[in-house]
Amino acid sequence: MTAPKVKIKKGDTVIVNTGANKGAKGEVLKVLPAEGRVLVQGVNMKVHHNKPTQTSPGGIERKEGFLHISNVSILDPKTDKATRVGYKTLENGNKVRVARGSGETLD
């Protein structure tokens, strides 16, 4: 079974639709298309306890956890609301992503 097409890319600004972090906005740091997961800056923070070693002092580290791609939506650059993603071919032949809500290009 092949993975579905991912319309969210690294660097996009997204909003969380569901879950404990609903309404949180952030930039996509990493996308795992095969697993259908995204890493969003400052969202879904996890706590990791590190043991001290010779090179690092250890301690408590907070870092982002992955979210399922269905739980996030791209923010429309014009209205700053969640929108779907469509595709459009420009006159010069380039294919670009567009926000379905306003028609603004996302690339």
Q: Output the tens digit of pLDDT for each of the chain's 107 residues.
A: 577 789 999 999 999 999 999 999 999 999 999 999 999 999 999 999 999 999 999 999 999 999 999 999 999 999 999 999 999 999 999 999 999 989 999 87
Q: What is the DSSP string of 34-98?
A: TTTEEEETTSSEEEEEE---SS---EEEEEE-EEEGGGEEEEPTTT-SEE-EEEEE-TTS-EEEE
User: Domain ranges in the chain?
Assistant: 1-75, 79-107
Tell which CATH classification among 2.30.30.30, 3.30.1490.20, 3.40.50.1100, 3.20.20.70 matches the domain 1-75: 2.30.30.30
Amino acid letter at 45? Answer: M
- This prediction's pTM: 0.85
Whether 48 and 60 have beta carbons less than 8 Å apart is answered as yes
pLDDT for the residue 1: 59
